Amino acid sequence: MTNKLQIIECVPNFSEGVDTAVIKQIAAEIRSVKGVMLLNVDPGKATNRTVMTFAGSPEAVVDAAFLAIRKAGELIDMSRQKGEHPRMGSTDVCPLIPVSNISMQEVVVYADELAKRVGGLGIPVYLYEHSQPDKKRNNLSVIRAGEYEGFFDKIKQPGWAPDYGPAEFDAKRGATVIGARDFLIAYNVNLNTRSVPAASAIAAEVRESGRMLRTKDGSAKIVHGSLKYVKAIGWYIEEYGHAQVSMNLTNIIETPIHIVFEEICKKAQQRGLKVTGSELIGLIPLDAMLNAGRYFSTRQNGNTGLSETELIAVAVRAMGLDELVPFDAGKRIMEYVLSANMPL
């Protein structure tokens, strides 16, 4: 074991994005734990979902996550919850992510501990990503298929008993997905249309899982999308007046955010549409922004000698990351947020 401070990140998604009193009470549970810093609270009205980001020592993060999940279960009634985002529980998903001086396997142990504690509350818990050895059910979208409404039956089906907690769906709290995973960027690209079918068609063309097409003989064939490590859906956000391609980028080394943005632009143009900008949900690593800045500055004028601040500004401008809300690097770039709040 290392003597250096171990830090993990937790990014729970709660199925409430409108009631600020509920959001504040959940956030207060996280803030109450010594050794944890709440880094970001990102509510969405149309999605009716709030993404919180906090980090700290593994033991403290597990405690804070448990308290937040318990409080969300007390305050959020899933039988009344509606929103654009797929969901299956009051705490829909709660990933743990290694940040500093800790291995993924160590984080798997902490995620398992959290899952066991949440299961003890009577909430069905499904493990995913690195925490789930069964490859048939380690993907969040596969686990969540059917959503809250479909889980009353799904939980009884062969192969779909939860990893922890009762094999009976909780009508008020739903179920929760917990696991150790790599860093993920939640990223939405805005289109100059309100058409959900158009956004969904673009999503199907770029996401790795692709789409089902019929061949000439009538048989079904899966055609994979153009971007590896990308999950995508299309939706319309009333408060913005835009349809969006909403994505999770699960490997930003292999498929960087600037390549994703460019591909969406190309697919939109093929449909006579335009990309007007984009938005980040939660935090992004500094390297991802710098690489995007280098990419766009080289394409635009060949200038490679820009400072860190200048590269970030280029990336923000090129991808329209400030179209919907101002982009504050101090609150959006992970290293900046962590260095301002915690010793690494």
Is the Cβ–Cβ distance between 344 and 6 less than 8 Å?
no
Cα separation, 273 vs 268, in Å, equals: 5
Pair of tokens at residue 105? 């396997």
Cα separation, 40 vs 263, in Å, equals: 28
- 7's enclosing H/E stretch is strand 7-10
85 is catalytic: yes
Q: Per the residue annotation, which of 85, 130, 242, 258 is the catalytic one?
A: 85
3-state secondary structure of 279: strand
Is the Cβ–Cβ distance between 184 and 248 less than 8 Å?
yes
Chain Cα centroid distance, residue 212: 25
Task: Mention every residue, 6+ apart, whose C-beta is less than 8 A from residue 74.
Answer: none
Say how many CA atoms lie within 13 Å of 133 toward its Cβ.
Answer: 4
- Active-site residue set: 85
